[in-house]
Structures are given as C-alpha cells and as structure tokens.
Amino acid sequence: MASYRKTSTGWKATVSKRINGKLRQTSKRGFRTKNEAVMWAAAIEADIDGVEQAKNNPSFADYFLDYFKTYKEPRLSQVSISRYLRIHKELTDYFGNQKLKSVRRSDYQKFINHYGSSHSKETVYKLHSLVKASVSLAFNDRLVPQNFCENINIVYKDTGKQISYLNVSEIKQLVKTTSEKLNPNFPGRYMILTAIFTGARLGEIMALTWEDIDFTNHTININKALEYNYGRDFKATKTESSNRTIRVNQILLDWLKDLQGHNMVFQSQYGTVPSSSAVNKLLKQLLIDAGINRPGFHFHSLRHSHVAYLMYQGLELYVISKRLGHSNVSTTANIYAYLIDEHKNKADDLIEQRLDNLLDNF
C-alpha cells in the first residue's frame, strides 16, 4: 500500500508491506509531481522484494535526507535545517537517483569540483563536513564498502573578498561615537558596544537575560541564542563549545546597568529586542557618524574586530579561541587566518628591529 504527501522538498511517497508478519516501510522524497511519486511507488510494489531493496539500497540523496531527519533535525535550529535541505537539493540535482552503494570517491570528488566552482571556501567545507558525517555513518552500518568522502581535495571559488574589520583607532572612534548618545529606551547602541567588548555573536547578544550577567565577578554567561531569522524563540548556541563564560570590563557593565527593568537585557520600550536589520542599519549610520568608511561592514564584523584588537594586544590564540566559543584553536586559526598572517608580518618586522638592536655596540 502506498501513501503520498506534499512536503517542502516536493512529493513524498511511502510504501508499506508486511514481510514475515512485520510491517516494513520505505519512502522517497523530492518528486517534482505526484505522478512521479506514484510511478516510483508502483515499481516498488510490483517487486516482491522492492521494499527491502529500497530500504537497504537508497539513493545517495535520499540517504542523506533520512540521516538528517533521523539524527539531526530534532535538535537543530531552523537555520541549520534549511542548510541540510539545501545540501539535499544539491545532491539530488547532481546525483539524481544514483544509489548510495554505487558512489565512488571519484564521483564525489567530481561533485565537489562542480559545487566548489561557484561557492566559497567556507560554504564548501561546511557542505563536505555534513555529507561526510552521513557517509561515515553509512560506512559504519555497512551500507557502503568505503567512506568515499575521505581524502577529498576541497575545491572552492576564490572570491578575493577579505572579511572586514576595524583597526584600533577605528574601534576607539566607534566606541566613542556609539557611547555618546546612549538611551536605555533604544538598546541598539548597547548591543553594538557589547559586541565590540565581547566578540559575541548577534543571536547570543539578543538572547541575554539578567541572570546571565554577573556584576560581581565581571562575567557574562553565553548559554543560548535567539532565533532572530525564524521567530523570536530561544535556541541552543551554535555549538556545545559556544556555551561559555567570558570576562568583561567594568565600563561595559556600567552601561548595561542602564537597561535594567526588563527580563531581557536588550528589551526596548516596545517590549521587543531590536532586530538584525535594525542594529545593522544603526551600525551603518554610526560608522558614517564616526567618519569610518567600511563598505560591507556589518554586525558580525564587530566579532572580527574584537579578534583583531585582542591579537594587536598580544593575546594568545588559545585564549581568544576560548573567548569566542570555538571547539579548538584550529577552528579559530582557519577562520582568522588572514588576521594571523597580518599579525605575523607585523611581528616579523618587530623581530627584525629587535635583532638589529644586537648590533648597537658594533
């Protein structure tokens, strides 16, 4: 018996059959029309072993979607769910109905070559890591003879675009301009200052409640985020390691005290937390007011500026990594490689000068 349902990824067909007294089911999603779903179901039902074969030998794209639905979807934010669905579409568009068992490393490498030709390094690495995790499970379950995602050369489009951040003098000027006209009824400026002084992500800042602020020990506890693109509900932080407690300075705490009176730290007089578009619009105007010309600079760039400032102050990468909530130093090194290179060049110049000092008495 077959049933059909329209989903966000197209039509879904489910075929049910009793085998040795037990009800067995197999399903397939992503059909463009109901007729395509009906034809697939008819072929499965016509084969006496069709349900078992479909269950044990899914297409690559279907297996990835089932992996996501079974192991990942229940605990993911809407943003992450959308990412998995986009990857499923990419796999469907490229591999079609090719069976998981038939995919070889060379097939997957060609897919990465194709996908990487029009996507950034970060996007390709993210897709590869999620697909690789699903194939690793398939290999452990003996559904494939090898993990064909191992030893892949990552190919990506070099956009030539460098992440924007402020230098020390620009950070100081932005802090001065932002702090001059603070108004507790409009907490957007306080959010920008918090990002500069903590390096926290926008969703983490939006989710702060007064229980997260320890005025005695000068700390802020990052333990949740706000789902600002899909409603206004709390969600888990980006990763487990993103749950962290960070030290902050007294002046930031003094500014935040002005906002007390609501449960949410950055709740406005209208009872809501400023949206992403609102704080980015405000930030753009503050940059203009501060005389800073940084096209493309946005709220997340404040996180990069925070890192740049800490590196300028000589803090170790390990300390910075923990403050940002990264799981390991290599993650920080990969994301901020451009900053590390700049810092190294400046350090090399300083080393050369210091070495020249050894010749002062010659």
The CATH number given to 79-161 is 1.10.150.130
Residues whose CB is less than 8 angstroms from the CB of residue 65 and which lie 6 or more positions away in sequence, other chains included: 9, 29, 30, 84, 88
pLDDT (0 to 100) of residue 52: 46
Residue 166: closest CA among 344, 327, 282, 286? 286
Residues of the chain with pLDDT under 70: 9, 17-25, 44-56, 159-163, 229-232, 337-354, 356, 359-362
Protein fold of 168-346: hpI Integrase; Chain A (1.10.443)
Rg (alpha carbons) of the chain, rounded to whole number: 26
User: Which amino acid type is present at position 95?
Assistant: F
Widest distance between CA atoms in the chain: 95
DSSP 154: P
Q: Indicate whether this model's pTM tops 0.75.
A: no
Read off the tokens for 293: 């010309």
Q: Strand 225-226 to strand 2-7: parallel, antiparallel, or no bridges (unpaired)?
A: unpaired
Read off the tokens for 305: 């500026």
Read off the tokens for 32: 């463009």
Q: In terms of DSSP H, where are the helices of the chain?
A: 34-46, 50-56, 60-67, 78-95, 105-116, 121-140, 168-179, 188-198, 202-206, 250-257, 276-289, 301-312, 317-324, 329-335, 337-356
Q: How far apart are CA 288 and CA 244, in angstroms?
A: 33
Domain boundary assignment for the chain = 1-56, 79-161, 168-346
User: Which amino acid type is present at position 59?
Assistant: S
Residue 212: closest CA among 201, 203, 223? 223
> Do the beta carbons of residue 24 and residue 51 sit within 8 Å?
yes
pLDDT (0 to 100) of residue 313: 83
- Going from the C-alpha of 345 to that of each of 7, 162, 349, 350, 358, the distances in angstroms are 53, 17, 6, 9, 21
